[in-house]
A and B are shown apart, each in its own frame.
Chain A
């Protein structure tokens, strides 16, 4: 077990280094001077030289690379070119917004996707049940999250006026109340703040959650199909156990390992989804920050956001791989 974890860690480190190198190369080596891109063709030579020095681009590439790696490990991504303050601070402010969106959409995706997948697998010989469920999954898979988001906004925000059109609610205020302990002294204000955050969160979570539910349902369907074809399920049925018990007691438990894989895949897709979802709903978050940074040609901010995205994905996959060994002791590192 320890050896497995250690080896998995050893594989993750070069992978992270490689992924960070790709980010670095994309931002530095590919055509175009970042300063010209940021300041435009009209910028004076002195201003360009100043910008080059500020970004540290006057140094040899190898030095810049090592510096970037070293500072990234310490979560120091430099200063935002447009905003002027440290990128890591900006990321720290945006991260909770993206985190709550990912968690809320995960809840939606799990509540919708897993039951659909399981029922679709168990009733696969009943086309009246299996077909509609598979079609729903296929539609969810084909529907771009930004389009679904816009449709939800048109119906629920513009026509029914049930949810806000933009923004993410006062999450910063809620977090500040938790940190300062005001959550106990002013519980009403706190609950009002939470309610406001949830109000702003509902539509984005539904949009992202539904498109993710399609992937989750397909993965849980194939996981369930694999589990129910196992010998122990046949044995349980041969013993005369009721079908419901066979499913709950034997099949669902053994779906744990495939479901863990779903979590790993899910986080990667969800994080990508936040880029589009936050843009559609004009919500603060890492995804919108990345798009805005690219639009404003704020390279330090964009580089920081992409690096953090990559770190999260590699970290989640690492944790999932480790959980495999905990859930199923038969799994060893090959």
Chain B
């Protein structure tokens, strides 16, 4: 007679459910943790930039002749030390966050406003309009972002507005390409056919149907471009082509501190760290949002 062994009927399901729950929690954690960390860092940066006059311990341009090139903590009032003019590094980094965030957000908005309508127009209209728009975008894309921004800033001169304009123009072809590729997919959908059948004109289709459906993917990629814009701004300022001193920007603090790396490495270390944390924050948010919302964008 065959002996049938039975597994404990109580243990297995409970263990299975617990394991499944743990797995689900792990998956949720894996999905939301990077977004959480990134959002927290980005939010902290926004708060620091917005509340700079309130939280900066000293004026970013105030010079203290008795505390020139002092290290972190060497003088009580200068937590992160001072630069060659005796200016407080912490206060300059806090105020520098404003410049970075302003340039980062404004240039991405500029690129978005200029590039997305053109991209959607190219995708929906097709034909010669598409060829013309895309060839122009390709020409601009022959230049890497920093190089194109560098050309424009050289021609216009270094200032906040010019930097926004330069980086915005450099980012525009990226938005054109993405908006076009999204519009090409969306225009084939049934609801576009339905809208057309109901008599909607091309402009209405683009504004009321294509744009809203492309918006979330564009916003996700836009978040990643904020990181690119912040890095480009820092690069331009580092090269002396961005916002001219004494207005503090992370790039120009780092550039000024370069001459003193032997005696006073804290100037370059802290300003560089600020750039890295800001870029990391927006990279984390953008990456995680992209993976979460639209796996098709992984290659963008």
Contacts and interface: CB of A to CB of B under 8 A. Distances in A.
Do A and B come from the same complex? yes
Interface of A: 14-16, 18-19, 21-23, 26-27, 30-32, 127, 138-139, 141-144, 146-147, 150-151, 153-154, 158, 222, 268-269, 271-272, 275-276, 279-280, 290-291, 294-295, 302, 306, 309-310, 313-314
Contacts of B69: none
B151 A306 contact: yes
B234 interface: yes
Interface of B: 30, 135-136, 138-140, 142-147, 150-152, 154-157, 227, 231, 234-235, 238-241, 254, 258, 261-262, 265, 268-269, 272-273, 275-277, 279-280, 283-284, 287, 298-299
B298 A222 contact: yes
28 contacts: A15-B135, A15-B139, A15-B142, A16-B142, A19-B139, A22-B143, A22-B151, A23-B151, A26-B154, A31-B156, A141-B279, A142-B227, A144-B238, A147-B254, A147-B273, A147-B276, A150-B258, A153-B261, A158-B262, A222-B298, A272-B146, A275-B239, A290-B150, A302-B154, A306-B151, A309-B147, A310-B142, A313-B143
Contacts of B254: 146-147, 150
A276 B239 contact: yes
Contacts of B239: 275-276, 279, 291, 294
Contacts of A14: 135
Question: Which of B136, B235, B277 neighbours the largest number of chain A CB atoms within 10 Å of its CB?
Answer: B235
Contact of A306 (B147, B240, B273, B276): B147
B242 to A, nearest CB: 12
A313 to B, nearest CB: 6
Given A275-B150, A276-B235, A142 B144 contact: no
Contact of A142 (B150, B258, B280): B280
B139 A268 contact: no
Across the A-B interface, the 8 shortest Cβ-Cβ residue pairs = A147-B272, A18-B139, A30-B155, A142-B280, A272-B144, A142-B279, A19-B142, A26-B155
Interface residues of B, dominant DSSP? helix
A212 B258 CA distance: 23
Nearest to B139: A18
Contact of A138 (B152, B241, B280): B280
Contact of A146 (B238, B241, B298): B238
A313 B254 CA distance: 29
Nearest to B157: A32
A123 B65 CA distance: 56
A285 to B, nearest CB: 14
A314 B143 CA distance: 9
A144 B235 contact: yes
A22 B170 CA distance: 12
B284 to A, nearest CB: 7
Nearest to B280: A142
Contacts of B284: 138
